Amino acid sequence: MTPDSLPPGLDALLRDGLADLGLSTDLAPPLLAYLALLVRWNGTYNLTAVRDPRQMVTRHLLDSLAMHRFVSHGTLADLGTGPGLPGIPLAIAHPDLQVTLVESNGKKARFLREAVRQLKLGNARVAESRAEAVDEPAAYDHLTARALDTLAGIIAVGGHLLKPGGTLLAMKGVMPHEEIAALPAGWALVGTEPLSVPGQEGERHLVTVGRAGVKPA
């Protein structure tokens, strides 16, 4: 499947959403190329439970990009990225952001490598590994994990990857008060930000966590 073979109306839906997020509509073609690749591979590899391309625009592309203002540059490790969410949309939106897509599932990692190759994403690479096994201590400015575990769980498997002033940027639905209260010793809440995802109802929050007593970079 190519972008031209996607259902009609997706380009306008995506462009409207990009504009609402303050992003250039010039990002639509590479994002749709990624979406077309995801739809094609999803038929065989079951990369995501979302099957409707229109829903993919809202629930995958625009949802991932809702956090773009917080990761415009530096280094980002996207833990348990699955089919590349939010890492690939963020890499497309921000060429100055160096993204490592961490995924242990072999089929998903193969898709990620093909997506990086076809989309010519020179600022993205794939680490086929469990997060806790990535041997790159203190290498990243940011961690994100769109659908992976609790805040404490993310820190347990990926906290070693953060630079001293680095931040974990966790996308959540309703405000996770219990998760924040259960942060492990040495970690603290930096801030929370409500996110608005075009076309999506319900609450969405970005929760930022860092090492206690260390000012975020």
d(CA 20, CA 28): 13
What are the tens digits of pLDDT across the range 159-207? 999 999 999 999 999 999 999 999 999 999 999 999 999 999 889 999 9
List the chain domain ranges.
3-211
What is residue 46's predicted lDDT score, i.e. its pLDDT?
84
Sheet holding 124-127, edge to edge: 124-127, 97-102, 74-79, 140-144, 162-172, 205-211, 187-194
pTM of the model: 0.96
d(CA 33, CA 170): 26
Reduced to 3 states (helix: H, G, I; strand: E, B; else coil), residue 150 is: coil
Q: Are 109 and 126 in contact (CB under 8 A)?
A: yes
Structure tokens given for 43: 């038929």
Domain made up of 3-211: CATH architecture: 3-Layer(aba) Sandwich (3.40)
What is residue 126's predicted lDDT score, i.e. its pLDDT?
98
What is residue 1's predicted lDDT score, i.e. its pLDDT?
56
- Angle, helix 28-45 to helix 10-20, in steps of 10 degrees: 120
What is residue 148's predicted lDDT score, i.e. its pLDDT?
75
The dihedrals phi and psi of 78, each to the nearest 5 degrees, come to -100, 105
What is residue 87's predicted lDDT score, i.e. its pLDDT?
98
Written as tens digits, the pLDDT of the chain (217 aa) is 567 678 899 999 999 999 999 999 999 999 999 999 999 999 889 899 899 999 999 999 999 999 999 999 999 999 999 999 999 999 999 999 999 999 999 999 999 999 999 999 999 999 999 999 999 999 999 999 987 789 999 999 999 999 999 999 999 999 999 999 999 999 999 999 999 999 998 899 999 999 998 888 7
Q: For every residue of 112-123, which 3-state class applies, written as one string?
A: HHHHHHHCCCCC
